[in-house]
Chains A and B, each alone.
Chain A
Amino acid sequence: MEKVSRLIQQAREVLQIEAQGVLGLIERVGPEFEQAVEMILNSKGRVIFTGIGKSGIVGRKIMATLNSTGTPSLFLHPVEAVHGDLGVVTADDIVIAISNSGYTKELVNILPILKNLGVRLIAFCGDPESPLAKESHLFIDVGVEREACPLGLAPTTSTTAALAMGDALAVVLINRKQFNTSDFKRFHPGGSLGDRLSIKIKEAMFTKEQIPLVSADQTVRETIFEIDNKKLGASLVVDGRLILLGIVTDGDIRRALLKWKDIMELKAKEIMSKPPKMIDEEKNVSEAITLMEHNAISVLPVVDKLKRVKGIVHLHELLGGKEFRLNGSQ
């Protein structure tokens, strides 16, 4: 038989107890769980989690899981709730209150207020006889038979069980909502965006024929054609050695129209912005984005050490183009 130290044995026992705690929930998932799912699916509001201590931390994690899988969620701290944060709650919302004992004072205190606001309450709780379970519209049993921490000094199995039940809820909602890969990408720009921000500009910029270019003496008419063809909302103005002299943007054209009656035959150099903002091709994408954000511009010429044009970048393309928008909308 394998000989193990007391330390390893104890660690295995804890895992055994926690695993059993989660397994014990299987038989208890029943009609009330189904009702909770339907309640959330039919809700026009958000799912608001609340709880104190480690239950609160579990609530925050489930909230994050629901948010990233398409169910708008919030966390409401019970103490902050009675000091003004209740204002975030609307009658359309569903509140999921987490407490293993179901007697947590701060949580029980806000239940009548939440009910008065017209929200529907779901209890994630281990005691069906507790005030929390009795005050709630639905009771989801997350009770466990044994904690893995001596003297119950810290909740262990019970928080694992509540977390697992939250995951069960999230996954069921994913399937019911037919949440798909593109939805997931929409809510998770972080990974691909993070990768994108760290690469060098020369790897992300438009080059060669993609660069909108005119010479200083070309007309505004020709410049507008170039802008229209390359679809970046601007054209770079260069000399014969491709040294950057300036930039003509849609905004420059609007301002020129206000200044002159007929601008079509003017030279590009007469309406261009100079000196233009520019960036070295060896810099990172993140620096280009910062520069554009600070100067409220959406295109940025890329140059080498001699200020010769090597490319151009557009803010939206650097952020992933049509894959996502920062505000989460498509």
Chain B
Amino acid sequence: MEANKTPKGLIVDLITPLDDKGDIDNAGLVSLLKKVLPHADAVLLASPNMGEGSGLSLNLKTDLLKNATTFIQGRIPIFFWISEDSAENTEKTLALLEDLLKLSNYKGEVFWLDSPLYYHSNRGLYDHYQDLTLNTKYPFVLYNDPGLINLLERPLKRCNIRTSILKNLAEIGKIKALIFRGSLTRVNNYQKAVNRRPDFRVYDGDEDRFLEYPSMSGVLSIGSNIAPRIWSNVIRASLGMLEKDREKRDYLNQIWEMGELLKDLRQIYNPNPVWTIKRSLVDLNIIGFHTCTSVTQPFVEEENHLTEFISKHAIE
């Protein structure tokens, strides 16, 4: 694999399997990775959404990266969310994770995923990244997620990276891509801002957006924790990577039906994706526990319709 080449396609926003004591459930992690790896183009660990990254201690993060790299062994790129509550703490986390990879002599592709507005304002971001990127040999992917920033109790804070700032950040060669959530108008403006960098990818951070207007770079997918094969097929079709299959009878109909299935699936897990998906993965004997961190809201419904839906449609 070419060094630092950003992947294209399915990025699985992996849940973080935790045991009943709240430690990393390594057996569950390996089992889940075995399920998703054949279909994924990259995997995101410790994300602020599915990975419960903001609720993971530094020890848990290092354990997660250590265990995941031991199993993955460079087969697909790893995105790892590094953002903390301040620039200093983010730098510390980055340094620690970097040391871990260095000590384990990890040869695979790793991208640091950072949500800059989680701990830093737009002002001075260029200088911040000039410093941050100097301290690592691995490239960066930015994460623009206004939903995450809005959860922070900081009034008047901007929840999107300013377009002009992104244009400047795209001049930093080590910043390779952006995962985007937000309006179509904004993503178009972002795209214009990074046009000078043909290698710069803009991934969809929103499954619904991707299913409607697919980004040619790929998507960060929640549902692929439970339906990686279908997600992979739909993404590969959307990206024109299944051209030879177009000749097959009923191809378009099959892709359409898969897309509809994923939308239905999404309706079920969307209200509380981490809890719902962990519960189903336990039901399916993929992971051992449905333990969540404190950042995940407990779910009030007793029944888990997701498992029922998965069984009914024989989703793998």
A interface with B by C-beta (< 8 Å): 13-14, 16-17, 20, 23-24, 26-28, 53, 100-101, 103-105, 126, 141, 143-153, 155, 158
B214:A151 contact, CB within 8 angstroms: yes
Q: A145-B202, A152-B214 are in contact. Are A103 and B241 (CB under 8 A)?
A: yes
A101:B259 contact, CB within 8 angstroms: no
State the CA gap A237–B250 with chains docked (Å). Answer: 73
Q: A17-B188, A101-B240, A105-B243 are in contact. Are A151 and B216 (CB under 8 A)?
A: no
Contact of A27 among B185, B195, B240, B241 (CB under 8 A): B195
A20:B192 contact, CB within 8 angstroms: yes
State the CA gap A28–B244 with chains docked (Å). Answer: 28
Q: A16-B185, A105-B243 are in contact. Are A151 and B234 (CB under 8 A)?
A: yes
State the CA gap A28–B216 with chains docked (Å). Answer: 17
State the CA gap A141–B216 with chains docked (Å). Answer: 14
Closest 9 CB pairs of A and B: A152-B238, A101-B240, A27-B195, A20-B188, A151-B259, A146-B215, A145-B191, A151-B238, A27-B196
Contact of A101 among B215, B243, B255 (CB under 8 A): B243
B256 within 8 A of A: yes
State the CA gap A14–B198 with chains docked (Å). Answer: 22
- Shortest Cβ distance from residue A26 to the other chain B in the assembled complex, whole angstroms: 7
State the CA gap A16–B192 with chains docked (Å). Answer: 12
A145:B215 contact, CB within 8 angstroms: yes
State the CA gap A221–B211 with chains docked (Å). Answer: 86
Query: Quick one: closest A residue to B262, CB to CB?
Result: A151
Besides A105-B244, A152-B240, 20 other A-B contacts (C-beta < 8 A): A13-B184, A16-B184, A20-B188, A20-B191, A26-B195, A28-B195, A101-B240, A103-B244, A104-B243, A145-B202, A146-B187, A146-B214, A146-B215, A147-B214, A150-B211, A151-B234, A151-B255, A151-B256, A152-B237, A153-B252
**What are 23 contact pairs spanning A and B, CB under 8 A?**
A14-B213, A16-B184, A17-B188, A20-B188, A20-B192, A23-B195, A24-B192, A27-B195, A27-B196, A101-B243, A105-B244, A126-B216, A141-B198, A143-B216, A144-B216, A145-B202, A147-B216, A150-B212, A151-B214, A151-B238, A151-B255, A151-B259, A152-B239
Q: A101-B241, A105-B243 are in contact. Are A147 and B192 (CB under 8 A)?
A: no
- Shortest Cβ distance from residue B224 to the other chain A in the assembled complex, whole angstroms: 15
B256:A153 contact, CB within 8 angstroms: yes
Q: Which of B202, B243, B244 has the most CB of A within 10 A?
A: B243
State the CA gap A85–B166 with chains docked (Å). Answer: 50
State the CA gap A126–B243 with chains docked (Å). Answer: 14
State the CA gap A13–B209 with chains docked (Å). Answer: 12
CB interface residues, B 158-196, toward A, < 8 Å: 184-185, 187-188, 191-192, 195-196
Give the bracket for the number of chain B residues in contact with chain A.
20 to 34
B217 within 8 A of A: yes
Contact of B255 among A141, A144, A153 (CB under 8 A): A153
B interface with A by C-beta (< 8 Å): 184-185, 187-188, 191-192, 195-196, 198, 202, 211-217, 234, 237-241, 243-244, 246, 252, 255-256, 259
List the A side residues contacting B256 at CB < 8 Å. Answer: 151, 153
Query: Quick one: closest A residue to B8, CB to CB?
Result: A127
A24:B195 contact, CB within 8 angstroms: yes
Query: Quick one: closest B residue to A155, CB to CB?
Result: B240
List the A side residues contacting B252 at CB < 8 Å. Answer: 153
State the CA gap A105–B243 with chains docked (Å). Answer: 8
State the CA gap A26–B191 with chains docked (Å). Answer: 12
B191:A24 contact, CB within 8 angstroms: yes
State the CA gap A20–B184 with chains docked (Å). Answer: 11
Query: Quick one: closest A residue to B197, CB to CB?
Result: A27
A145:B217 contact, CB within 8 angstroms: yes
B213:A17 contact, CB within 8 angstroms: yes
Query: Quick one: closest B residue to A128, CB to CB?
Result: B198
State the CA gap A26–B256 with chains docked (Å). Answer: 33
List the A side residues contacting B243 at CB < 8 Å. Answer: 101, 103-105
List the A side residues contacting B234 at CB < 8 Å. Answer: 151
State the CA gap A13–B183 with chains docked (Å). Answer: 11
State the CA gap A103–B255 with chains docked (Å). Answer: 19
State the CA gap A223–B191 with chains docked (Å). Answer: 79
List the B side residues contacting A149 at CB < 8 Å. Answer: 213
- Shortest Cβ distance from residue B1 to the other chain A in the assembled complex, whole angstroms: 12
State the CA gap A302–B130 with chains docked (Å). Answer: 87
State the CA gap A150–B204 with chains docked (Å). Answer: 14
State the CA gap A146–B240 with chains docked (Å). Answer: 12
- Shortest Cβ distance from residue B199 to the other chain A in the assembled complex, whole angstroms: 9
